[in-house]
A and B are shown apart, each in its own frame.
Chain A
Amino acid sequence: MKDEISKFLPLSPAILHMLLALAAEDLHGYAIMQEVARQSEGKYKLGPGTLYDNLQKLLHRKFVEELGRRAEDEDPRRRYYRLTSLGRGVLAAETDRLSEVVREARLRLLAKPRRA
């Protein structure tokens, strides 16, 4: 299973943010865009083209599944998406990987330069 997940890593920033956005709750595309903007404090903005291109990939890889439309939504055209267990596993793996990267980065940045 781990090998299966690891082949998707590393994730692109867009996919990482989208999976993160969906990790908390089911969202529609526009809400994903807004959530990504919020997470990155406005520094990373997804356009619809990029968003749905990546959603296309995520759906194809089964990281995400579609829930369909919701009658109570203000715009009935919106479809909701949910993170699958595979997607959640991939996100967790990516998070671990990034943690390792961060840890390694901190170690290197804090260590004194050695002379040869």
Chain B
Amino acid sequence: MLRSLYCCLLRLHPSAFRQRFADEMLSILDHTAGKTASIGLLVDGLVSLARQWTLRPEFWHNPWPDQHPAPDGVPSFRTLAPFRPRAGAVIHGLVLSTGIFCMTCFAIRYGWIHVLHVRIPEVQFDVPQSIQMKSGTVASAGPERPTVPAPSDNQSPVARLAAPQSAFNVPTQTPLAPFETQDHVAQNPVAHSSEAGCPQSRVSPCAQPAVEVAGQPKRKLVPESARLGDLQSNSLLLPDSFRFSQPRTEQAKPLNPGTMIRTEGRDVNLSAAERQQVIHGAVANLTKYYIDPDVAQRMAQALWAHEKSGDDAATDGEAFADLITTQMRDVSHDRYLMMVYSTGTTPANPPAPTPDDVARYRKEMEGNNCTFEKVKILPHNIGYLKFNEFPDASICRTTAAAAMASMNHADAIIFDLRDNPGGYANMVALIASYLFDHPTHLNDFYNRSENTTEQSWTLPPVPGNRLAKKPAFVLTSSSTFSAAEGFSYDLKMLKRATLVGETTSGRGHMGMGHRIDDHFTIRIPGIRVINPISKTNWEGTGVEPDVRVKAADALKTAEKLAERTLQKK
């Protein structure tokens, strides 16, 4: 305190005196022991201040003579204190400093997104309903389905996120599109075709070039009917990501040919040889990619049997695709298995997603706060986070980090995934990272065709994070899908969170579209999520909640649970 006062006094002295002697005077104070002596120095400083300003005007502006090397050889230094730069030099310096500042900011931003980003398994779970909404078609999701901000046309965050432990083998085909069940399609065939047309809502949903595939109308002119063509051409656009899709209905039912897919276009009369060729392609792909080789083999046999018996003598391309889909599902009961027909030509070598695709996705995410709908603190200091997707972490890392940071001082945290249809595995890992104080193994991704397994881990502990030990709750519904199920399942297996709500949809496999010929594409689940603790996943069964309540009551229940948990502490 006294020292600070003394410093203030010294600062008030005339600059010439201050520059010359202030350091030494302060040094004397520092070597003076005792409070009384220090107070004496303060008084002396006051007197000196008055003396210097009243009696020593001759020294106010008297620059001290330059310090020449002392006779004993002790070096001295010149200072630039009296130097005054030209105005032009000041302006140049200002411009230069501003430029360097901007470049530094850009480098930091760029580095944050592209360089420092920890690469984690690139697993993309898709969000079909968002496409649907975006496309202007009728949303077919359940009544409580959130208005998930739809990705605009073809956002393709192509940023590939490889697993930190190993390079994630890039699938050579595209992710699977959402699969429609018959009842939904029957009710809303247009919506269905739209959805089916944009399987990679996040990754490569209906890229613009695909819309303009030869023989196909541009989407903006015929937005609904063009979707299927988009699907088929674009389904091959994104080689770097896996994704799940969101079913519109829970129960897979036998398909009713003719209602499954509606695409506008020509009537194609398929010859027996053409049909055989498609079946051959389907069998080859099933045998190679389908997650269960035995089931694949049985499906192949069934397809050949139908072909032999003439059951599949449909001459219409769409009807034939529906028929094949039905035949495959009859054996596998896998509602995500699907043959898709397109009137457009599916390119053999799909173009890579363009920077525009990525830019569009980024813009959309920026426009909807990366789907983080609610971030707030509830009574009793319970953090509540509702996000309606797991967006690409390479785009939304900052937003997610900000949302989690705002939860940092909460005593408990509730993740509301009731309206979350999934998304990117890298965001799953990113958000889960806040719940652990050490890197934690979340799950594995087994690629059957490549016979490889990639691991997904949380990121290293987040500096300053205080949520690692806080009680966590996850709200689920029957609409919780794909990556959102993965997040729930992982935390449940790790006993890190209490799941409250309904059993989830049950999508634990991922797949891709595989081109058979110019018009037929088959979608095959080929990647299985395997939890390291349960050694299985939630495919078909969904994730069971710890506390089963209706989705609408889940939040209240979780709040009470959290409150009770906090009271016990």
Bound Cα distance from A27 to B71, whole angstroms: 15
B41: contacting residue among A28, A29, A47, A70, CB under 8 A: A47
Number of A-B contacts (CB under 8 A): 81
Inside 8 A of B51's CB, which chain A residues have their CB?
49, 53
Between A53, A60, A80, the greatest number of chain B beta carbons within 10 A of the residue's beta carbon is seen for A53
With known contacts A53-B56, A65-B70, A68-B67, A47–B24 Cβ distance under 8 A = no
B27 touches A53 (CB 8 A): no
B74 touches A49 (CB 8 A): no
Map CB proximity to A onto B23-63 as digits: 1 under 8 Å, 0 otherwise: 11111111100000000110011011101100010010010
Is there a chain B Cβ closer than 8 Å to A9's Cβ? Answer: no
Inside 8 A of B26's CB, which chain A residues have their CB?
77
Inside 8 A of A18's CB, which chain B residues have their CB?
none
Inside 8 A of A55's CB, which chain B residues have their CB?
21
A68: contacting residue among B20, B31, B56, B70, CB under 8 A: B70
Inside 8 A of A75's CB, which chain B residues have their CB?
27, 30-31
Besides A53-B52, A82-B70, 20 more A-B contacts (Cβ < 8 Å) are A30-B31, A47-B41, A47-B47, A48-B28, A49-B25, A49-B45, A50-B48, A52-B21, A52-B25, A52-B48, A53-B48, A53-B51, A60-B59, A66-B67, A68-B74, A68-B76, A69-B74, A75-B31, A77-B27, A79-B24
Contact residues, A9-62 vs B (CB, 8 A): 28-30, 33, 47-50, 52-53, 55-56, 59-60
Is there a chain A Cβ closer than 8 Å to B72's Cβ? Answer: yes
B44 touches A47 (CB 8 A): yes
Bound Cα distance from A16 to B350, whole angstroms: 96
Is there a chain A Cβ closer than 8 Å to B445's Cβ? Answer: no
Is there a chain A Cβ closer than 8 Å to B17's Cβ? Answer: yes
Map CB proximity to B onto A68-98 as digits: 1 under 8 Å, 0 otherwise: 1110000101111010000000000000000
**Closest CB in chain A relative to B10 CB, distance in Å:** 10
Query: Interface range on chain A: under 10, 10 to 19, 20 to 34, or 35 or more?
Result: 20 to 34
Inside 8 A of A67's CB, which chain B residues have their CB?
70-72, 74
**Closest CB in chain B relative to A21 CB, distance in Å:** 15
A50 touches B44 (CB 8 A): yes
19 interchain pairs, CB-CB under 8 A = A30-B31, A47-B40, A47-B44, A48-B25, A48-B28, A48-B45, A49-B45, A52-B20, A52-B48, A56-B20, A56-B59, A65-B70, A67-B71, A68-B70, A68-B76, A70-B74, A75-B30, A75-B31, A77-B24
Inside 8 A of B56's CB, which chain A residues have their CB?
53, 56
Bound Cα distance from A78 to B26, whole angstroms: 10
B23 and chain A: residue at smallest CB distance: A77
With known contacts A48-B45, A49-B45, A68-B70, A78–B21 Cβ distance under 8 A = no
**Closest CB in chain B relative to A25 CB, distance in Å:** 12
Bound Cα distance from A53 to B23, whole angstroms: 14
**Closest CB in chain A relative to B96 CB, distance in Å:** 34
**Closest CB in chain B relative to A55 CB, distance in Å:** 7
Is there a chain A Cβ closer than 8 Å to B143's Cβ? Answer: no
B28: contacting residue among A30, A60, A70, A80, CB under 8 A: A30
Bound Cα distance from A109 to B352, whole angstroms: 114
Inside 8 A of B23's CB, which chain A residues have their CB?
77
Bound Cα distance from A77 to B28, whole angstroms: 10
Is there a chain A Cβ closer than 8 Å to B75's Cβ? Answer: yes
Bound Cα distance from A30 to B24, whole angstroms: 8
Bound Cα distance from A36 to B20, whole angstroms: 22
Bound Cα distance from A67 to B44, whole angstroms: 26
Closest 8 CB pairs of A and B: A49-B48, A47-B44, A52-B21, A77-B23, A77-B27, A67-B70, A49-B44, A48-B25
**Closest CB in chain A relative to B264 CB, distance in Å:** 86
Between B28, B31, B45, B48, the greatest number of chain A beta carbons within 10 A of the residue's beta carbon is seen for B28
A28 touches B24 (CB 8 A): yes
Bound Cα distance from A28 to B24, whole angstroms: 9
Inside 8 A of A77's CB, which chain B residues have their CB?
23-24, 26-27
B24 touches A29 (CB 8 A): yes
A78 touches B27 (CB 8 A): yes
With known contacts A47-B41, A52-B48, A53-B52, A33–B74 Cβ distance under 8 A = no
A75 and chain B: residue at smallest CB distance: B27
**Closest CB in chain B relative to A2 CB, distance in Å:** 25
Inside 8 A of A60's CB, which chain B residues have their CB?
59, 62
Inside 8 A of B76's CB, which chain A residues have their CB?
68
**Closest CB in chain B relative to A85 CB, distance in Å:** 11
Bound Cα distance from A70 to B17, whole angstroms: 21
**Closest CB in chain A relative to B110 CB, distance in Å:** 43
B69 and chain A: residue at smallest CB distance: A68
